[in-house]
Amino acid sequence: MLQKLETHLEKNFPFLKGKKLLITVSGGIDSVVLAHVFHQLKYQIGIAHCNFQLRGIESDLDERFVEKIAKEFNCQFHSIQFLTKEYCKKNKVNIQIGARELRYDWFQKLYTEYEYDYILTAHHLNDVMETFFINLSRGTGLDGLASIPPINQNIIRPFLIVSRNDIETYANNLNIKWREDQSNAETKYIRNKIRHHITPELYKLHPNFEENFLNTVLKIHDSKIFIKQKIAALQKEIFTTKENDFIIDKNIIKNLSDFEIYELFKPFDFTATQEIKKLIATQTGKQIYSSTHTLLNNRDSLILSINTQDLNEDVYMIEHMQDIHHLPISLNFSFANKEISKDCIALNLEQTSFPLMIRKWKDGDYFHPTGMRGKKKISKYFKDEKFSLRDKENTWLLCNHQQQIIWIIGHRADRILTCKPEKENLVYISV
C-alpha cells in the first residue's frame, strides 16, 4: 500500500512535496495510518488532535495516545480540549455538526499561526461511499453524488482512493496501534447505519463493488467539471450585463432543459427550476427571490439583480474573467505567476464561480484574514488597522456570488477563499 500511495501522491498531489503539512489525527486507525504513511515517506508534518470531552477518560487517553505518536515521529504536536456539549447547546446544533465546526475552525487557526501549507484529513473510500448514500437519500445533484472532494481550498484528502480494508491491512502488517471509538459501532447515526447494514450488502451483490464505485465517482467528478465549463460558456452567451443587472432572453430560457436552467441559476441560489419556468409564464412584473438575488419577469427578458437592501453602497457584478477598468476600482486578471501581496490575490479556477461582485462593506461582514487566527468582523479589522472614516468609505470588497468576502481590495485577503501561489490552475487578480 505504501508504494501505491507514494505513486498516487506523486501523480495527484505533487505540490505536497517540501511543504509543511498539518495532519489531523483522532487516534483512530484511519488518521493514525495517514500520519504513519506521511512520516514513512519523509514529508514534513505536524499533528493536530481535538479532545471533544465526549467520552470521559477515553477522550483523554486518545489525546495522550496521539501525543505519543507525535513524539515518536519527532514532529510538532497541537492539541485542544473543547466544551463540545456546551458549544452545541449554545449554538443549537447537534454534536456531529458542532464538533465539525469546532475542529475545522481550530485547524484553520493552526494553519495560519504555525504557517502550515496544507491541512490533511484521513477521509477514505468508504467515507466517500457513506457520504454518497447519505446525499442520495436526502436528494442531491452531481455535487452531492461526487461526495467528498480530494481538494477543498487548503484541505487535502489524499486517502480517498484507499479502502478501510486497505488501511486495516496496512496497520496489521506493520503492527501499528490505534484507539477504538465505540461510537463507530452504534447505529443511531445514519453514517453508521450505511456502514454496517447497506454497504456490506452491496459487496455481496458484486465482488468488484469497491473498484466499480471508485470509477463511478471519478466519472461523476469529471462530469461535474465538464458541466461547469459548459454552463459557464452558456451563461457567457445568454447573460448580458446592464449596469449591475443581468438581462436574460426569455425565449432562449424557454428552450433550455430543466437541468440547464437549474445549473444556470444555482450560483444565484435559485434551485427550484419549476418556479423559474412558472415565472416566465406569468405576467410582466412578477418577481421571485433567493437569499441573495431577485429574478424579475420583464417583457422579453428576465432581469437578475442582487438583493441590495442590506448593502450600504453600489454593487458591481464581474460577469466574466476579464480586466475591469470601468468600475470605481480597476482589477486585472492574469494566469501568469505573480507575487501575492495586499495588491494581488490568487484564486483556484475550479473552485471559483462567476459572477463575482465588488461592493462596499456592511455591518456584520466578516472574513478570515491571512496571517491571522480565526475570523474577524470587517468593522474590527478597520479599527485595528486604524482606518479613517474616509478610508472606510473608499474601501471595496471583492465577494463571491454568496457574498462571502474574498478580499478587502488592496488590503487583506481571506485565507480560506484565496490560494497560495504554488498551487496549480490559478488566476491572479490585482489592482
Check if the beta carbon of residue 318 is closer than 8 Å to that of residue 244: no
CA angle 391, 410, 107 (to 5 degrees): 110
First to last CA, the chain: 47
Tell whether the torsion through CA atoms of 268, 304, 309 and 318 is positive or negative. Answer: positive
- 429 contacts: CB under 8 Å, gap ≥ 6: 331, 332, 333, 344, 345, 346, 347, 398, 407
| For the chain, the helix, strand and coil percentages under 3-state DSSP, each to the nearest 5 | 45, 20, 35
CA neighbours within 13 Å on the CB side: how many for 399? Answer: 22
Say how far apart CA 14 and CA 349 lie, in whole Å: 18
In the 3-class helix/strand/coil scheme, how is 217-253 assigned residue by residue?
Answer: HHHHHHHHHHHHHHHHHHHHHHEEEECCEEEEEHHHH
Amino acid at 419: C
Backbone angles phi, psi at 130, to 5 degrees: -65, -40
Say how far apart CA 223 and CA 430 lie, in whole Å: 32
Query: In the 8-state DSSP scheme, what is residue 336?
Result: S
Binding site for ATP: residue ranges? 26-31
Strand partners, 370: none
Rg (CA), the chain: 24
Check if the beta carbon of residue 161 is closer than 8 Å to that of residue 215: no
Backbone angles phi, psi at 425, to 5 degrees: 60, 55
CA angle 222, 225, 230 (to 5 degrees): 125
Say how far apart CA 316 and CA 296 lie, in whole Å: 18
Say how far apart CA 233 and CA 231 lie, in whole Å: 5
Binding site: residue ranges? 26-31
